[in-house]
């Protein structure tokens, strides 16, 4: 669990990895579905850092479920490329977190993909939405407040459709 009272006003480095052979498709680049896998690894690392990791359901009876997400594919990334997922908390309330992830090349820094997601806190016994525990909510609010002054990325809240003149 994150134990600091102060968070930097910058996205958090949530996860680092390398593009795996099974993630590559017939076009020779990362398959669209595996971007979601990579972003899920970032989400899980973030949730673990705030106290809601893999032991959270058993120890505290809660978890999070994804409600909605949007993924952009900005630049091809290939086999064995290092990548890093940076995470921002755009908003949160007593039951939900609105996160934004960026996947960047791990050494060159260019943007490969983005992911906007809303997750819901769940009481695993009832399998229904439930408020975050107070200590988790305090941490989420601290991160949200630290990120509040950052410029909102241009893709946040974007609708999908074919643009016509």
CATH numbers and ranges of domains, the chain: 12-147 (3.10.129.10)
- Structure confidence by residue, pLDDT tens digits, 44-95: 999 999 999 999 999 999 999 999 999 999 999 999 999 999 999 999 999 9
C-alpha–C-alpha distance, residues 95 and 164, integer Å: 38
Between CA 80 and CA 83 the distance in angstroms is: 9
Structure tokens at 114: 């983005």
Confidence of residue 4 (pLDDT cuts 50, 70, 90): very low
The mean of the pLDDT values for the chain is 93
């Amino acid at each position: 669990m994150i134990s600091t009272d102060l968070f930097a006003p910058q996205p958090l480095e949530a996860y680092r990895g390398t593009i795996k052979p099974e993630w590559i498709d017939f076009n020779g680049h990362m398959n669209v579905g595996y971007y979601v896998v990579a972003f899920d690894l970032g989400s899980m690392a973030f949730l673990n850092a705030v106290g809601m990791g893999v032991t959270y359901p058993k120890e505290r009876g809660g978890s999070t479920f994804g409600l909605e997400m949007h993924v952009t594919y900005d630049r091809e990334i290939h086999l064995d490329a290092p990548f890093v997922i940076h995470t921002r908390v755009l908003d949160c309330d007593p039951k939900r977190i609105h996160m934004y992830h960026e996947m960047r090349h791990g050494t060159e820094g260019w943007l490969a993909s983005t992911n906007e997601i809303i997750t819901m806190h769940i009481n695993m016994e009832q399998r229904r939405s439930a408020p975050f525990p107070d200590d988790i909510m305090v941490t989420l609010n601290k991160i949200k407040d630290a990120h509040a002054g950052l410029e909102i990325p241009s893709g946040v809240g974007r609708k999908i459709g074919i643009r016509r003149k």
